[in-house]
Amino acid sequence: MTLAELKRKSRYYRQEILTFIYQAGAGHTGGSLSCIDIINVLYNAVMDIRPENWNSLQRDVYIQSKGHSVEALYVVLADLGFFERAELGTANRFRTRLIGHPTRKVPGIEHNTGGLGHGLSVALGMALAAKLDRRSSRVFCLLGDGELGEGSNWEAALSAAHYKLDNLIAVVDRNGLQITGSTAQVNDLEPLERKWSAFGWAVRRIDGHDIAKLVQALGGLPFARGRPGVLVADTVKGRGVSFIEGQVEWHHKVPSREQYELAMRELEMPS
Amino acid sequence: MSGETDRGIGRANLEVFAETVEQLAAVDPSLLVVTSDSRGSARLSAFAARMPDRIIEVGIAEQNLVGVAAGLAAGGRRVMAVSPASFLATRSLEQIKHDVCYSDRPVILIGISAGVSYGALGSTHHSLHDFAALRGIHNITVVAPADNWETAEALRAAVSAATPVYIRFGKKPLPHLPRRGSFAFGRGRILREGSDCAFIATGETVWRALEAAQALADSGVSAAVVSMHTVKPLDAELVRAVGRSAAAVVAVEEHSEHGGLGDACARVLLEAGLAPRYRVVAIPDEYTVTGSQEEILSHYGISASGLSRVMSTLLGEG
């Protein structure tokens, strides 16, 4: 996919996320808009995951540890044909498969997440299994930045470096906000690159909304032979909609009809 | 030891575990054991030396232990995660719930040195809460084998199970028990028939219940003994059968009196409209007295004399 096509996809996915959350009357608006460029690039330009190879152990693997931003994943999976786009309209209804966190009941979802600090250990186990069985598949794990407060991430970080898992790639959606306020105010994470680096990981840091830079960084894996890689992607919570960007209260706020229409108009304009 | 348990002393279930794992690994190339600095405690050092590519070490990190085990299982491996029962059952409880049970990865969780096996090391190391914690989680089988044979059988059943299994046992040598019937998860075994009363026991309390039954027989009371090795799913049919035929039932477990086998059996009996005289002999709701495993269990009446006394009292009531 060309950069122009990827950029069009990102704009389309943002519209789909807004529509999904507006129709469902629930969702994590800010975090889904901050990580959608990352998920777009992973599925459309980096990872080998398709409905056709889903049952193969040879393919790549994606674990979304920040499970609450599941809307961003649902719209991409529907676009790739893992399930019908029409099913997006069932979100949050009684007996829907599309609940507010990822589950394996939904085609294309690898692991049930929602409790924070779980995904990296599971991704590590899958990357280790691939290495032991000499499979070339790579395991990608999307982490929230606020999520890094969970100590279990750092248990996994130690262990992944110990096993030299260069087929494991974590991407941190560094939007700088969590439900209470900024990560700097709540539980300061910086210097974040030095923390990962001290744990033995190869670290890159880029603008997480720059499609070209995402493609370039994630296209050049591993970052270092024999070391797990982490991409710290600096993002903006709510990116793409002016009145949602950087606003703490939009963590899981649902747009009113007026706000939804306004947001959709903003997203129609080429950025 | 006398009567029903005079078939001789076997080994510790821990030793049987280590030996069985090696046998299973020899026939299943996918089997991996994951440890959290617990290979020595689990008697797995020899296994690790002979089959180094079958053991994964994550260090002292039980949350990561269970998450990694789930990931390895997702990657096509059959996985046993091994750690002291106390830490495995609750330090990593959320990983057990989310990453193993909810995500439906059939990991085998091995809780070593369970109950009060660690004796005088104290309550941090005792697992008197594992049945209660895990019974509340969907999609896991909870097992406490009574002797060496049940331990080996439980491990063999676990490696072919389609859903997660938790198996806990202690580290002291145990008597061999009567070999009656086959082993299957969710199916209790009647180790001794009896017409007056019954003990429903689990794990390493079963031989003590058999000794108590022998002592009662010497004074003319006929007591049945059930090894209820699977605490969840409970063999409700067998509990009801026992409740219909026995005038008094005593449930026995090396666990807190709350949330374990005793509570589970009481519910089955009440829902079936059965009301035998009933007692639960377990560890009361307190941090235990200090002492060895044997001293602690004896103190709380989980001994041949304690159990026969409770049963005699129960039969004498009313």
Assembly ipTM: 0.96
pLDDT over threshold 80, residue B3: no
In chain B, residues under CATH classification 3.40.50.970 are 8-175
pLDDT over threshold 80, residue B32: yes
Which architecture does CATH list for B189-316?
3-Layer(aba) Sandwich (3.40)
pLDDT over threshold 90, residue B318: no
B1 confidence band (pLDDT: 50, 70, 90): very low
3 state SS of B170: coil
Beta strands in chain B (DSSP E): 9-12, 31-35, 55-57, 78-84, 108-112, 141-143, 165-168, 173-175, 189-192, 197-201, 223-227, 230-232, 248-256, 277-283
What is the reported pTM?
Answer: 0.96
**A120 in contact with B at a CB cutoff of 8 Å?**
yes
Which of these, B200, B188, B196, B193, lies nearest to B282 by C-alpha position? B200
H helix intervals, chain A = 3-24, 29-41, 70-80, 119-132, 151-162, 183-186, 192-198, 211-219, 257-268
Between the CA of residue B198 and those of A67, A74, B155, B301, B302, what are the distances in Å? 49, 55, 27, 16, 15
B6 confidence band (pLDDT: 50, 70, 90): low
CB burial of residue B210 (10 Å; 0-12, 13-18, 19+): buried
Residues of B in contact with A102 (CB under 8 A): none
pLDDT in tens, B271-310: 999 999 999 999 999 999 999 999 999 999 999 999 999 9
Inter-chain CB proximity A125 and B66 less than 8 Å: no
Mean pLDDT of B228-244: 98
**B80 in contact with A at a CB cutoff of 8 Å?**
no
CATH topology of domain B8-175: Rossmann fold (3.40.50)
**Tens of pLDDT along chain A (271 residues)?**
999 999 999 999 999 999 999 999 999 999 999 999 999 999 999 999 999 999 999 999 999 999 999 999 999 999 999 999 999 999 989 999 999 999 999 999 999 999 999 999 999 999 999 999 999 999 999 999 999 999 999 999 999 999 999 999 999 999 999 999 999 999 999 999 999 999 999 999 999 999 999 999 999 999 999 999 999 999 999 999 999 999 999 999 999 999 999 999 999 876 5
Beta strands in B15-73 (DSSP E): 31-35, 55-57
CA B189 to chain CA centroid, Å, is 14
Nearest C-alpha in A relative to B63? A152
pLDDT for B2? 46
CB burial of residue B255 (10 Å; 0-12, 13-18, 19+): buried
Residues of B in contact with A129 (CB under 8 A): 71-72, 74-77
pLDDT over threshold 80, residue B256: yes
Inter-chain CB proximity A121 and B71 less than 8 Å: yes
Inter-chain CB proximity B67 and A118 less than 8 Å: yes
What's the number of domains chain A is made of?
1
Buried b (16+ CB within 10 A) or exposed e, A104-119: eebebbbbbbbbbbbb
The enclosing domain of A177 has a CATH number of 3.40.50.970
pLDDT in tens, B179-200: 888 999 999 999 999 999 999 9
pLDDT for B4? 54
Q: Which domain holds residue A63?
A: 3-268
pLDDT over threshold 70, residue B172: yes
B317 confidence band (pLDDT: 50, 70, 90): confident
Element (H, E) at A144: strand A139-144
pLDDT for A271? 52
**A114 in contact with B at a CB cutoff of 8 Å?**
yes
Residues of A in contact with B94 (CB under 8 A): 115, 118
Element (H, E) at B306: helix B304-316
